Amino acid sequence: MVLGALIPAQGKTRGLDIGTGTGVLSLMALQQNPRLEIDAIEIHETAAKECAWNVQHSPWPNSVQVYSMDFLSFESTKTYDLIFSNPPFYVDGLKSGNETQDQAKHMSREQFDLFVRKAAELLSNEGIFTLIIPGDQRSFLLDLGKSYGLFPARIIAIHANTQKLNKRVIVDFVKDERKVIEDELTIRNLDGSYHDAYISLTKDFHLTDLSK
């Protein structure tokens, strides 16, 4: 929800959603910018079918092309001015033994290297590549991006609450080095209620009023 609300979709025309799952991020990006045309990649066939169904039953049935395949095998003759992803977030982490879950949540450092390199190749010179990862992998990601000509334009630290800091980090990469905008977002208060900043950010995407 946080990543979807923070995708910088305004003014963009060609989007690439890597690991789309059931298409939530693509639909949130289209809610912000209905002019987007999105290619959505999903390795799991069942999830890809659910994504296609969700798109067809959305207000933008012709705006997303779903590909059921491994992103590392994806080929395109075009570049994208917006790439976004919630990638497998345990880099070299302990796996569960469930093949489907492990593929969705785990990636080796070598695979992550290939993932970032391919995203950099598909990103246009004026494009933005946005992704979310665990906070403790921030330095690893920034160093990896730099090795492929990607520079951070915005870094947002995501806190679960005021005592659980830096649980996730969202990074916007671009191809020109510039002053980095750093920000932070707290999702919940210590009593379990949603933080005002989170409510304000995501209110247009929830069916219920989180402040109640």
Whether pLDDT at 2 is above 50: yes
Query: Could you tell me if residue 130 is inside a domain?
Result: yes
Query: Could you tell me if residue 189 is inside a domain?
Result: yes
Domain that holds residue 42: 2-205
d(CA 212, CA 204): 15
Per-residue pLDDT tens over the stretch 173-206: 999 999 999 999 999 999 999 999 999 999 999 8
28 pLDDT band, cuts 50/70/90, is very high
Q: Looking at residue 102, which CATH number applies to its domain?
A: 3.40.50.150
Query: Could you tell me if residue 212 is inside a domain?
Result: no
Query: Could you tell me if residue 211 is inside a domain?
Result: no
pLDDT score, position 10:
96
Query: Could you tell me if residue 210 is inside a domain?
Result: no
pLDDT score, position 163:
94
Per-residue pLDDT tens over the stretch 160-173: 999 999 999 999 99
pLDDT score, position 208:
82
Task: Domain count for the chain, please give it.
Answer: 1
Per-residue pLDDT tens over the stretch 84-116: 999 985 555 444 444 544 444 557 888 899 999
Query: Could you tell me if residue 66 is inside a domain?
Result: yes
